[in-house]
């Protein structure tokens, strides 16, 4: 059996996505900016994709910028708003558990003289809303809080944050939320999404920018994306993103129900069969993620042992290149070193089955038992 449980790192492209991208590569090679019919054909297809993506976020077509990835969307939002509003204040609020695409941008802004306040979380990665409330003041120009945490699946109360933001601009990194929870009524001013987390192509993202928000361009040049993001459009990537969006979003409830079924089954099985574990994901988290610490083991060794049985999981976050680093998310949750060391993230898609979970349960149980008996057996 072959079981892919690393869907929060990236997903397998839907076959329809690959098919439509191949067609676009063969036929839609005109530059959308060209005035001839080949250019117009590409432009028309990009416009249709933009319309579909906008609908999926409850937005208007002219509120969507295509980018090269979720990281670019996050960087664009943070640098853009910070620079545009620098005369109004210097305070930026974020959380300790953001993806590096936000945290590293904050570090750069800190060096430029901005004050960054990092909001903490509890042991299930739930945001400290009292700390957030107390932090928001007249100096605050930007709040960036993710919609779903990539390591635990914790859903952040973004609607509530949108209501209490004051005069600040509110950005949410919804890379792990898109296609897992409804994002049509978030109240956020800026939303980052990425195609490869919803079975679309890698290297393709988008940023929702609410009408009226002044976001200076991050990439300047030919003036594409209404001068907000220059560079010839990645037409096959946009077509692939659109194809994924049109499958993932209308079928969101059915997809999430399937993920929840396998996640709950695996969680129950692990709780019943394996002693000394700690579930780090909250019960009401996104259905796509289950993070568990297996005490007295090393997550990295478990990962490679499971790989020998064709089971693919992750320790913490695999979507940053700092793969061996200690999880800053689990550390912010107050987990002990031993709990962080033994953590495994199982992340699901609608393609996973109960039969696969039975196989995974068996192999995880065997690997944990063996590790505990022998210590590190590598």
Catalytic sites, residue numbers: 319
Footprint of ligand PLP on 263-322 (CB under 6 A):
319
Token digits of residue 53:
């993506």
Nearer to ligand PLP, 91 or 180 (CB): 180
Smallest separation, CB 284 to ligand PLP (Å): 18
Instruction: Tell me the β-bridge partners of 344.
Output: 292
* Alpha carbon distance 86, 78 (integer Å): 12
Binding segment toward ligand PLP, per CB under 6 A, in 39-47, 64-72, 120-128, 227-235: 64-72
Phi-psi region of 375 (alpha: psi -120 to 50; beta: other; left: phi over 0): left
Interaction between residue 151 and ligand PLP (CB under 6 A) = no
CA atoms within 13 A on the CB side of 28: 23
Interaction between residue 205 and ligand PLP (CB under 6 A) = yes
Burial of 164: CB neighbours in 10 Å, binned 0-12, 13-18, 19+: middle
Token digits of residue 310:
């064709």
Out of 7, 94, 172, 194, the only residue in the binding site for ligand PLP (CB under 6 A) is 194
Nearer to ligand PLP, 150 or 154 (CB): 150
User: Are 152 and 280 within 8 A, CB to CB?
Assistant: yes
Interaction between residue 330 and ligand PLP (CB under 6 A) = no
User: Are 364 and 309 within 8 A, CB to CB?
Assistant: no
Q: How many residues does the chain have?
A: 378
Footprint of ligand PLP on 93-122 (CB under 6 A):
99, 101
User: Are 310 and 322 within 8 A, CB to CB?
Assistant: no
Element counts in the chain: helices (H) and strands (E): 12, 12
Out of 17, 125, 146, 252, the only residue in the binding site for ligand PLP (CB under 6 A) is 146
Nearer to ligand PLP, 175 or 313 (CB): 175
Out of 42, 76, 152, 176, the only residue in the binding site for ligand PLP (CB under 6 A) is 176
Interaction between residue 175 and ligand PLP (CB under 6 A) = yes
Smallest separation, CB 261 to ligand PLP (Å): 23
- Provide the 3-class DSSP secondary structure of residue 172: strand
Smallest separation, CB 244 to ligand PLP (Å): 13
Binding segment toward ligand PLP, per CB under 6 A, in 70-78, 224-232, 282-290, 359-367: 70-78
Out of 70, 89, 282, 316, the only residue in the binding site for ligand PLP (CB under 6 A) is 70
Binding footprint of ligand PLP, residue count (CB under 6 A): 15
Smallest separation, CB 200 to ligand PLP (Å): 10
CB within 8 Å of 292: residues ≥ 6 apart? 267, 270, 277, 278, 279, 280, 281, 343, 344, 346
Q: Which segments of the chain does DSSP mark as H helices, in order?
A: 15-27, 37-56, 70-84, 100-111, 129-135, 158-163, 235-248, 252-273, 299-308, 328-332, 337-341, 354-374
Footprint of ligand PLP on 218-257 (CB under 6 A):
none
Interaction between residue 127 and ligand PLP (CB under 6 A) = no
Out of 5, 69, 105, 301, the only residue in the binding site for ligand PLP (CB under 6 A) is 69
| Of 240, 188, 321, residue with least CA distance to 46 | 240
Out of 11, 71, 280, 349, the only residue in the binding site for ligand PLP (CB under 6 A) is 71
Binding site for ligand PLP (CB under 6 A): 69-71, 74, 99, 101, 146, 150, 173, 175-176, 194, 196, 205, 319
């Amino acid at each position: 059996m072959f079981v892919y449980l690393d869907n929060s790192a990236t997903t397998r492209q839907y076959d329809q996505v690959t098919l439509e991208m191949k067609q676009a590569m063969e036929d839609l090679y005109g530059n959308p900016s060209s005035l001839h019919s080949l250019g117009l054909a590409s432009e028309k297809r990009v416009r249709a994709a933009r319309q579909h993506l906008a609908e999926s976020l409850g937005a208007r077509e002219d509120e969507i910028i295509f980018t090269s990835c979720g990281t670019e969307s996050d960087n664009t939002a943070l640098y853009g708003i910070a620079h545009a509003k620098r005369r109004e204040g210097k305070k930026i609020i974020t959380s300790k558990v953001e993806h590096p695409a936000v945290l590293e941008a904050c570090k750069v802004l800190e060096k430029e003289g901005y004050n960054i306040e990092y909001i903490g979380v509890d042991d299930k990665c739930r945001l400290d809303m009292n700390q957030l409330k107390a932090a928001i003041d007249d100096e605050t120009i930007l709040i960036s809080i993710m919609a779903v945490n990539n390591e635990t699946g914790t859903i952040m109360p973004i609607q509530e944050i949108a209501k209490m933001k004051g005069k600040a601009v509110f950005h949410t990194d919804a890379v792990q939320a898109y296609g897992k929870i409804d994002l049509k009524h978030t109240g956020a001013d800026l939303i980052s999404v990425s195609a490869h987390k919803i079975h679309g192509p890698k290297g393709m993202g988008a940023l929702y920018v609410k009408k009226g928000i002044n976001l200076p361009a991050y990439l300047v040049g030919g003036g594409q994306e209404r001068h907000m993001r220059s560079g010839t459009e990645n037409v096959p990537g946009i077509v692939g993103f659109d194809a994924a969006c049109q499958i993932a979003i209308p079928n969101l409830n059915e997809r999430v129900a399937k993920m929840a079924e396998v996640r709950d089954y695996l969680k129950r099985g692990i709780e019943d069969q394996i002693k000394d574990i700690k579930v780090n994901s909250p019960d009401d988290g996104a259905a796509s993620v289950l993070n568990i610490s297996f005490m007295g083991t090393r997550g990295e060794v478990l990962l490679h042992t499971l790989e020998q049985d064709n089971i693919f999981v992750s320790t913490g976050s695999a979507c940053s290149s700092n793969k061996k680093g200690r999880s800053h998310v689990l550390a912010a949750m107050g987990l002990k070193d031993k709990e962080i060391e033994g953590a495994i993230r199982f992340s699901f898609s609608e393609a996973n089955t109960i039969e696969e979970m039975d196989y995974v349960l068996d192999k995880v149980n065997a690997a944990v038992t063996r590790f505990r008996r022998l210590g590190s057996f590598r």
